Amino acid sequence: MTDHYCVFGNPVHHSKSPLIHAAFARQTGEDIRYTARLAPLDGFALAVHAFIAGGGRGANITVPFKEEAFRLVPHRTPRAEMAGAVNTLVVTGVGIVGHNTDGIGLLRDLTLNLGCPVAGKRVLLLGAGGAARGVIGPLLETQPETLVIANRTVNKAKILARNFAHHGGISGCGYAELAGQSFDIVINATSASLVDSLPPLPTALFAPHSLAYEMMYGLGDTPFICFARSQGAEQCADGIGMLVEQAAEAFYIWRGVRPQSGPVIAMLRNTSV
């Protein structure tokens, strides 16, 4: 019997998740149906319970419901607990279990697809919102030399760093305090690129052979990517690989089969959808 999965969001019409999971299903031969569902801003919990009551086996969660999903589920994995957000739901015999696959999606893209190991590297994470919080734990698990969180509101960065201090070497600061420092990996987890802007970054931020990673995708050369290139970043990438890798992790959680992400990343890069 075909198992039904979906992605909840608002808006959700733009989501690439149905395309990605359809490709995974064809690749693995898994009998699933995956759809996008628009949840009312004030009716997310009702939408989830109705989906499960109708036989739904699992779901992905996108903006703006990841934190609400965290509060909704009775069981959460350690990664979800660290992130304070849930982006994957699984229906089990003990109830709904909440996972967060964003961090592992980023790490798999960095290390496997882009050939950029994180261990021993100096990592800068721009932004202190939900996108940043979801990847801090997995980044620290890889034992970078240092992880610095920089944010326009300095106190948010410092509080976030304190919350994760027991997981490894991490600090928080404002953008001005980055002057004189350089990093091997710079990850833009801010929403600045959505409005075609750039955080107020100092020059000389990128070490030799560095990687600039834009979490947003489908925006072309964002101001962050253009700045990184002008400052000598050796490699630049957007978040399409992270999107596919976090979906692959969710697929594996649901089905026990790990799909190949490479062909799906190539498909998305070569199409205009």
Residues marked active site are found at 66
What three-state secondary structure class fits 262?
helix
The amino acid occupying position 129 is G
Give the CB-side neighbour count of residue 147, counting CA atoms within 13 A.
30
Give me the DSSP letters along 134-165. Answer: HHHHHHHHT--SEEEEE-SSHHHHHHHHHHTG
Give which of 87, 114, 80, 79 is closest to 241, Cα–Cα.
114
CA atoms within 13 Å, Cβ hemisphere of 219: 21
Separation of alpha carbons 155 and 162, rounded Å: 10
Torsion of CA 95, 80, 129, 161, to 10 degrees: 150
Q: Which positions ≥6 away from 42 have C-beta within 8 Å?
A: none
Q: Which residues fall within 8 angstroms of residue 12, CB to CB, at 6 or more apart?
A: 36, 37, 38, 39, 62
Helix (H) or strand (E) holding 48: helix 44-53
CA distance between the termini of the chain: 29
**Residue labelled with tokens 């992605």:** 7
| Cα 139 from Cα 192, distance rounded (Å) | 22
